[in-house]
Amino acid sequence: VNPAIESILGRRSIRRFQDREVPDECVRTLLDAAMAAPSACCKDPWHFVVVRDRGILAKLAEGLPNGQMLASAGVGLAVCANIDAAHDRLISYALQDCSAAIENVLLAAHALGLGAVWLGVHPRKGRMAHLADLLDLPANILPIAAIAIGWPAEHKEPRTRYDETKVHHEKW
Ligand SMILES: Cc1cc2nc3c(=O)[nH]c(=O)nc-3n(C[C@H](O)[C@H](O)[C@H](O)COP(=O)(O)O)c2cc1C
């Protein structure tokens, strides 16, 4: 199989992490990948808050009911959107742009041997308020998602969820 495709299929949500530091060079590579993603009209409305402080990671986790693993992650990324910078200032474009960046981070993390998991924030108002408050986000900066990243303490097999019934040819 093509190694790039193998890597895409090998990316899995990793929710258990080793107690081991993630080097700054790795974080830079993840951010390079994030900001290599496509964005509508190349507006790049994304911002990334890199969180390494264990106390802040624990507090972030407190406001994310399905994000407890963030407390034990080597690094957390809060992916945010500057709504004023988005194409036509439309939230839908900002969300699509940020989602593309998030997926690139997940794929890059896997390529580096790291593990990561996408933690949903937007559109849950409580989670958004929690991140905005904790990270001092300006009013025009919307928290979209968090990503917990670290050296994996669990292994998951590559897979696709390919489903013939989801594929339509020429017309529905
Ligand atoms: C928008 C979005 C929000 C998600 N939120 C969470 C979350 O809060 N907690 C979590 O553990 N996983 C979360 N995930 C990860 C999914 O549960 C995971 O991708 C899915 O179960 C498929 O498994 P895989 O990533 O290993 O292929 C989220 C994924 C997406 C796309």
Q: Which residues line ligand 1 (CB under 6 A)?
A: 12-13, 15, 66-67, 117-120
| Å from CA of 17 to ligand 1 middle | 16
Residue nearest to atom 29 of ligand 1 (CA): 118
If the chain, 172 residues long, is cut into consecutive pieces of 10 residues, what is the mean pLDDT of each piece? Answer: 96 98 98 99 98 98 98 98 98 98 99 98 98 98 99 98 98 98
User: pTM to 2 decimals?
Assistant: 0.98
The whole-number pLDDT of residue 1 equals 84
The whole-number pLDDT of residue 95 equals 98
Q: How far is CA 152 from CA 73, 97, 113, 158, in A?
A: 9, 27, 8, 14
Mutate to test the pocket of ligand 1, among 13, 16, 155 (most ligand atoms within 8 A of CB): 13
The whole-number pLDDT of residue 43 equals 98
